[in-house]
Amino acid sequence: MVSKDALLKVKQDVENYIGQEIFVKANIGRNKCIFKRGTIDSTYTNLFVFKDAETDSKLSYSYTDLVTNMLEISLPNGECVTNYDFSTPKYTRL
């Protein structure tokens, strides 16, 4: 389970890219992905709004989509900015 502090960190990271051109890769299930180019329009407590550059439509995504790797954000130079791994094992084997 991801803590509120971890989701707050993800939100702050996303806020750094408001207005910048980014690429979004969304996993929509059954080995299907969609790729979109656009900007982050605004951020809210539980989600952020992405504005598609081609159609000017707005899509909303949750910060948990980034944590669960259902959504990836990358810059135009190919650098992936959403590599989160909050998995911490509860138990360790001796």
Q: Does a structural domain hold residue 69?
A: yes
Q: Does a structural domain hold residue 89?
A: no
pLDDT by 10s per residue, the chain, length 94: 677 888 899 999 999 999 999 999 999 889 999 999 999 999 999 999 999 999 999 999 999 899 888 999 999 999 998 887 766 655 555 5
Q: Does a structural domain hold residue 43?
A: yes
**Domain with 11 in it: what CATH number?**
2.30.30.100
Q: Does a structural domain hold residue 14?
A: yes
Structure tokens at 65: 């989509």
What is the separation of C-alpha 60 from the centre of its chain, rounded to a whole number of angstroms? 10
Q: Does a structural domain hold residue 47?
A: yes
Backbone angles phi and psi of 87, in degrees to 5: -75, 120
Which strand (E) or helix (H) includes residue 11? helix 4-15
The pLDDT value recorded for residue 89 is 56
Q: Does a structural domain hold residue 65?
A: yes
What is the separation of C-alpha 14 from the centre of its chain, rounded to a whole number of angstroms? 7
The structural domain count of the chain equals 1
Q: Counting Cβ atoms within 10 Å, is residue 31 exposed (0-12), middle (13-18) or buried (19+)? A: exposed
